[in-house]
């Protein structure tokens, strides 16, 4: 059996890092971990190939080689997934689709030969047997949530690791919280399921053996869903790091209650974690109550951010605009919070109702749903997919002002300095060979070519050399990220004051 895995193109979004990749000379930010994991679950004697459309183009000859094409995709890859499916249909190649995209919008992909709903571990034996018997069903659904103690190491040999800026490893699935807008518990459940420590270490060994020495993203939606178990894993990673000549750096996603556990933060830093993404959402407490974000109300959000950054973990923050409870000044409050707390990487999105979530169900009952989401919550046309309480035009224009403000060169570089004043690194970060090359390219692009931001870039480097030597690696990374964000969200021609911006709605 010949299987071709195709990973569709990710749209040019916040997390694509498309423009930053130019400076680091990588083709994609993250590898297709889901496809690589499924490949490892299929029979070992099957032939397998993988094409990541974020890395290179797909030829018809490669499609015709396959007995089946497997498309693994998220919602943000919907457009590209449709294109791949249509090419396969024209060529007469059978297609199996799996992943969050197909679960959210099965009707849009009804013409595929088979749709897979649920986690692969519970489905692959049935699916593989039916394929070999030429009895493929139109759909397969998993019941319940399987244990992760038999998940194999991904087939890293199917890709060139050097094409990617970061590698990915999964430790757990599921989240104990029940935020109204989030589909994590729909896909993975409320009770976190974990891999054994030795499984995770084996995956790190596999990456290390293939020469990987860069950053690793622990892709869990909430890495600390089971705090006691994760502490055991961190101790195992600390021991593993001590045995290696070169340490790896890690980053992950977690809930804000991380700030309540100094021991956990300390273990993360010792294990090599230097960044963590938090779902902060909004400084408006009524909006946090509205969406069921009780964990964000236990203490002040600024206090939590300060505790985490003071421990040696840089905070990347997720923020949302569009809640029913958002007051008229929500736009200014979001900007003020992000700037004051030095949250350099601020992923600000419009509220999106994803099928299966409590939010989607509530809005349907209220007759407020408008259309299916594009999957990109920074897409003003395709993400705010319901009738808002605040005037829709004001929400969209206020959101645009927020993005244009926080990713203007002045505010971005001032935010980096605010971060550095609060950040307490445990060890100096040195630039490796690839990092040095990226730094040299940043000098050209950001310090010479980009005449809108170069003065801020040089001021930041001056501060870095004089006051923040221990954080030099983070500073270079943040400068490069800023280039990507400015390309996506900032225009020097637009008004700076919120009042002037919103006045443009009525002309």
Q: For residue range 113-127, list pLDDT tens digits in order.
A: 999 999 999 999 999
Same domain, 59 and 197: no
d(CA 118, CA 177): 20
- 305 lies in a domain? yes
- Residues 6 or more apart in contact with residue 468 via CB below 8 angstroms: 420, 475
Same domain, 181 and 329: yes
- 384 lies in a domain? no
d(CA 70, CA 40): 13
- With tokens 């169900």, the residue in question is 361
Per DSSP, the residues of 104-152 read H-GGGGTTSSEEEES-GGGTHHHHHHHHHTT---SEEE--S---STTPP
Same domain, 105 and 173: no
- 373 lies in a domain? no
Q: Give how many domains the chain has, as a whole number.
A: 3
- 154 lies in a domain? no
Domain containing residue 436:
424-489
The domain boundary residue, chosen from 285, 315, 344: 344
**CATH number, domain at 107?**
3.40.50
- 360 lies in a domain? no
- 358 lies in a domain? no
Same domain, 432 and 475: yes
d(CA 262, CA 313): 12
Q: Which residue, 250, 76, 71, is CA-closest to 169?
A: 250
Residue 290 is predicted with a pLDDT of 97
- With tokens 């569709």, the residue in question is 8
The domain boundary residue, chosen from 309, 344, 379: 344
- 147 lies in a domain? no
- 220 lies in a domain? yes
**Whether 258 contacts 308, CB under 8 Å:** yes
Same domain, 202 and 110: no
Same domain, 82 and 204: no
- With tokens 């039916």, the residue in question is 130
Q: Which residue, 351, 256, 263, is CA-closest to 294?
A: 256
In DSSP terms, which residues pair with 71 in a beta bridge?
6, 97
d(CA 144, CA 141): 10
Q: Which residue, 28, 162, 24, is CA-closest to 446?
A: 24
DSSP state of 504: G
- With tokens 């183009």, the residue in question is 57
Phi and psi at residue 149, to the nearest 5°: -80, 0
d(CA 345, CA 416): 9
Q: Which strands, in side-by-side order, build the sheet including 94-98?
A: 47-52, 2-7, 68-72, 94-98, 114-117, 139-141
- Residues of the chain short of pLDDT 70, as ranges, are 427-434, 505-507
Same domain, 181 and 321: yes
Residue 384 is predicted with a pLDDT of 94
Q: Which residue, 442, 450, 459, is CA-closest to 492?
A: 450
Same domain, 318 and 440: no
**CATH number, domain at 269?**
3.20.20.70
**Whether 5 contacts 63, CB under 8 Å:** no
Q: Helix, strand or coil for residue 48?
A: strand
Torsion, Cα 161 167 170 176, to 10 degrees, reads -150
Reported in sequence order, the residue ranges of 121-236 that DSSP labels E, i.e. its strands, are 139-141, 167-169, 172-173, 193-194, 215-218
Please give the structure tokens belonging to residue 387: 């009738």
Torsion, Cα 61 10 186 346, to 10 degrees, reads 160
Please give the structure tokens belonging to residue 324: 């029913």
Residue 433 is predicted with a pLDDT of 60
Residue 438 is predicted with a pLDDT of 85
Same domain, 227 and 301: yes
Q: Helix, strand or coil for residue 314?
A: strand
In DSSP terms, which residues pair with 320 in a beta bridge?
349
In DSSP terms, which residues pair with 317 in a beta bridge?
278, 346
Same domain, 192 and 263: yes
The domain boundary residue, chosen from 107, 141, 175: 141
């Amino acid at each position: 059996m010949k299987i071709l895995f195709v990973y569709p193109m990710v749209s040019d979004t916040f997390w694509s890092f498309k423009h930053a990749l130019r400076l680091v000379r990588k083709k994609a930010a993250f590898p297709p971990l889901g496809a690589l994991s499924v490949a490892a679950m299929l029979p070992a004697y099957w032939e397998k190939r993988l094409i990541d459309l974020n890395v290179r183009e797909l030829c018809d000859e490669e499609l015709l080689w396959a007995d089946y094409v497997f498309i693994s995709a998220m919602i943000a890859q919907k457009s590209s997934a449709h294109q791949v499916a249509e090419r396969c249909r024209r060529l007469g190649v059978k297609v199996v689709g799996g992943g969050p995209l197909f679960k959210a919008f099965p009707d849009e992909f009804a013409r595929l030969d088979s749709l897979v709903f649920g986690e692969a571990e519970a489905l692959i034996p049935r699916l593989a047997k039916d394929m070999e018997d030429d009895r493929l069903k139109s759909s397969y659904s998993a019941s319940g949530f399987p244990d992760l103690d038999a998940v194999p190491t991904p087939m890293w040999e199917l890709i060139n690791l050097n094409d990617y800026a970061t590698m990915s490893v999964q430790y757990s699935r599921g989240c104990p919280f029940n935020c109204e807008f989030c589909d994590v518990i729909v896909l993975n459940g409320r009770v976190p399921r974990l891999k054994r420590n030795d499984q995770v270490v084996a995956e790190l060994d596999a990456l290390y053996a293939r020469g990987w020495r860069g950053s690793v993203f622990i892709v869990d939606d909430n890495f600390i869903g089971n705090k006691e178990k994760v502490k055991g894993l961190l101790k195992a990673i600390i021991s593993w790091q001590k045995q290696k000549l070169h340490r790896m750096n890690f980053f992950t996603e977690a809930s804000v209650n991380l700030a309540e556990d100094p021991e956990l933060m300390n273990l993360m830093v010792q294990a090599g974690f230097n960044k963590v993404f938090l779902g902060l959402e909004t400084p408006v407490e009524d909006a946090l109550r509205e969406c069921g974000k009780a964990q964000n109300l236990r203490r002040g959000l600024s206090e939590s951010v300060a505790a985490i950054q003071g421990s040696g973990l840089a905070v990347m923050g997720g923020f949302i605009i569009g809640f029913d409870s958002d007051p008229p000044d929500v736009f200014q409050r979001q900007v003020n919070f992000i700037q004051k707390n030095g949250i350099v990487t601020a992923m600000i999105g419009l509220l999106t109702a994803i099928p299966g979530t409590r939010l989607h169900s509530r809005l349907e009952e209220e007759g407020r749903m408008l259309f299916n989401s594009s999957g990109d919550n920074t897409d003003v046309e395709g993400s705010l997919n319901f009738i808002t309480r605040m005037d829709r035009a004001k929400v969209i224009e206020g959101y645009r002002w927020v993005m244009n403000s926080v990713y203007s060169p002045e505010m971005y570089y001032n935010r980096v300095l605010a971060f550095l004043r609060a950040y307490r690194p445990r060890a100096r970060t040195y630039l490796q060979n690839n990092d040095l090359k990226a730094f040299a390219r940043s000098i050209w692009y950001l310090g010479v070519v980009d005449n809108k931001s170069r003065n801020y870039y040089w001021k930041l480097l001056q501060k870095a050399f004089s006051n923040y030597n221990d954080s030099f690696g983070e500073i270079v990374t943040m400068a490069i990220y800023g280039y990507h964000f400015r390309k996506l969200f900032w225009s020097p021609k637009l008004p700076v004051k919120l009042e002037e911006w919103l006045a443009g709605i009525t002309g």
